[in-house]
Amino acid sequence: MNKFIVDEDLQVILQNEEEGATTPIKGGITAQDFEVISTYTKGWLTFAYLRDCQGIWWFNARKNKASLFSRDTEAFRVIDEDYCCDSQYVYLEDQAVPDSDPNSFRLLPDTPYFAQDQRYLYVKSSTHFHLFEDIDTNAVIAHHDYCTDKDHLFHMSSSLRYANGEKDEVRAWLQEHHPDVPGWWHAHYAHSAEGATQLRGNWVETASSIFYRTEWGGTYRREAKAVFNLVRGADRSTFEALDEQFARDQQRVYFQWRTVKGADPDTFQPLGGPFGRDGNHVYYNGYRVGEADARQFEVFAGTEHLGLSKDQHHVYRAEVVRTSQPFGHPDDVLQIIKGADAATFELITPSGSWAVDADRVYLWGKPNKHIDQASFTHLFDADPQSWAMDQNGLYNANGKRTIKGVNGSTFVMLNPYWGKDEHVVFSFVTGSVYKSGDAATFQVTDDIGGAEDALFRYTVEGGTVRKKKR
């Protein structure tokens, strides 16, 4: 058991009562008016909220250091082992949550994962924390790892995601425990999609509402279920579907069923896939790309799912990162590819599997420092395989593989079935080196996979290489 004490030298120390060992606390906390507010343990480590004459401190046992984060000693209170607040902020340990509202903050019942205030849903697991704004905080209900408002269901896994296709998982529980809340689980829900008709593509409407249609749960044995996601706040009288993913009304722009915050509906135009722009900004997956120049911005067609794009100064790709700092929820957000040269960046393959600029080779939009740009050569694509080589080796973009045992400096592609270097024969069909093949005498005999060497004849049948002795 560890406890905090003030020693005879008026230092705050952490004492292990069983072993008698003491450790001075780093960070600058003093003995004057020292008090332990609350402690909790994780394994053998003791974390704590502490107080001295300067204010409130958080003790991080991993660093053996206390950090001063609030001087509001009168209003400060601990909510649980992760959350606390003063009169201005809610804190995650010692980190203030921007624009949080301590007066309305509460832990949601029936779940270890969710809390809320009037602005945010707070999402916390054992390893992750983020805020979520795209929810009606006036109507939040949680049940274990599910969370819902009146219109949309969400599920907590590694992060929070929309789960409208899983509403049957919690429908009965909501009907039993929240019969008076007029949400989607009631037969007379105000935004029922029953009788919806198509506007364009996945955009559908009823007499009162707009929806974006998706599919959920399809497998080779089971047909996918249609899911109607409410476009919350959409004005039917001015609503216009712009393409398969973007729409607008007089007040807002929508990406699928989410509002694109800050986008100007008067000047907004789709750019293909999840890309769009208005008169001032670029948007990807419904999120503003703050650094992008809307006037010079261009998308590499066919790679929209990768986010490959550029303007005059930067090259971009999509990455799963926080949608805002420091606590935004994770999603696909367009990010600058650091070090990429926009002037010389070009796709080598239409899929985006390979690209180059003046200095580097890019694999699915990520720079690959192991591939030599000067000697890089794209060989061919045979979906899903995408083959390339340099002076060092042979590469397949499918699985990001480097083929072991192939010498790039002497490798020659013979046709889309076969290649060889000075020592080994390689099959593009199987992605394997044939050590029994005789590279010195190996040659192709037709354009459908036939080949021979001094000992064997080779054929390709249904994706399999077969060999027979000569």
What pLDDT, in 10s, does the model give residues 120-164? 999 998 888 999 999 999 999 999 999 999 999 999 988 999 999
Residue 69 included in any domain: yes
C-alpha span between 174 and 183 (Å, rounded): 9
- Is the domain of 121 the same as that of 62? no
Residue that is last in its domain, among 167, 190, 213: 190
Residue 301: the pLDDT is 96
Report DSSP letters for 48-73, one per residue: EEEEETTEEEEEETTTTEEEEEE--T
Residue 125: the pLDDT is 87
- Is the domain of 77 the same as that of 136? no
Residue 414: the pLDDT is 98
Residue that is last in its domain, among 162, 190, 218: 190
Residue 306 included in any domain: no
C-alpha span between 423 and 431 (Å, rounded): 16
C-alpha span between 6 and 141 (Å, rounded): 45
- Is the domain of 64 the same as that of 102? no
Q: Which residues contact 68 (CB under 8 A, 6 or more apart)?
A: 27, 28, 29, 54, 55, 56, 57
Structure tokens belonging to residue 282: 């670029």
- Is the domain of 16 the same as that of 86? yes
Residue 285 included in any domain: no
Q: Based on the structure, what is the number of domains in the chain?
A: 3
- Is the domain of 116 the same as that of 66? no
Sign of torsion, CA 192 194 199 204?
Answer: positive
- Is the domain of 75 the same as that of 24? yes
- Is the domain of 83 the same as that of 107? no
- Is the domain of 127 the same as that of 58? no
Residue 261 included in any domain: no
C-alpha span between 259 and 318 (Å, rounded): 19
- Is the domain of 25 the same as that of 91? yes
C-alpha span between 170 and 395 (Å, rounded): 47
Residue 55 included in any domain: yes
Contacts made by residues 251-255, CB under 8 angstroms, sequence distance 24+: 253/278, 253/283, 254/212, 255/283, 255/285, 255/286
- Name the residue range of residue 18's domain: 2-96
C-alpha span between 359 and 345 (Å, rounded): 9
Residue that is last in its domain, among 145, 165, 190: 190
The answer to whether the predicted template modeling score (pTM) of the entire model surpasses 0.85 is yes
Residue 444 included in any domain: yes
Amino acid at 6: V
Low-confidence ranges of the chain (pLDDT < 50): none
Closest listed residue to residue 337, CA positions, set 304, 358, 312, 310: 310
User: Would you give the distance in Å from CA 428 to the centre of its chain?
Assistant: 33
- Is the domain of 6 the same as that of 91? yes
Residue 21: the pLDDT is 81
Residue 265 included in any domain: no
In Å, what is the CA distance from 288 to each residue of 194, 255, 283, 293, 294?
Answer: 34, 12, 4, 11, 11
- Is the domain of 79 the same as that of 111? no
Residue 83: the pLDDT is 96
Residues listed for the chain: 470
Residue 419 included in any domain: yes
**pLDDT (tens digit, 9 = 90+) per residue, 177-213?**
999 999 999 999 999 999 999 999 999 999 999 999 9
- Is the domain of 106 the same as that of 40? no
